[in-house]
């Protein structure tokens, strides 16, 4: 597996973990990923973040969303 494929696989795993933790639908996840350019964030920070567990990475993604003016905790679903 080449490095680009490793990065893509890791990003997919992190997006799946984010969707599960926030209880998002696929559509909601896609909307958030596009709005806040989360794939770019994860790709640019892969070298640092891939050493950490999913919860640490998700915390960093949520912090990044907040820094971009988003309110990730406001998208949590209760149902």
3-class DSSP state of 1: coil
- Angstrom distance (rounded) from CA 60 to CA 48: 11
In the structure, what pLDDT confidence band is assigned to residue 30 with cuts at 50, 70 and 90?
very high
Q: What is the mean pLDDT of residues 23-51?
A: 95
Q: How far is CA 1 from CA 4, 7, 8, 48, in A?
A: 8, 10, 11, 20
pLDDT tens profile 49-68: 999 999 999 999 999 999 98
> What pLDDT is attached to residue 70?
84
> What pLDDT is attached to residue 32?
93
């Amino acid at each position: 597996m080449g490095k680009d494929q490793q990065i893509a696989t890791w990003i997919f795993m992190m997006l799946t973990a984010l969707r599960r933790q926030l209880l998002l639908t696929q559509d909601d996840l896609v909307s958030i990923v596009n709005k806040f350019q989360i794939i770019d964030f994860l790709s640019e920070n892969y070298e640092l973040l891939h050493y950490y567990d999913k919860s640490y990475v998700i915390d960093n993604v949520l912090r990044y969303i907040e820094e971009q003016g988003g309110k990730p905790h406001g998208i949590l679903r209760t149902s």
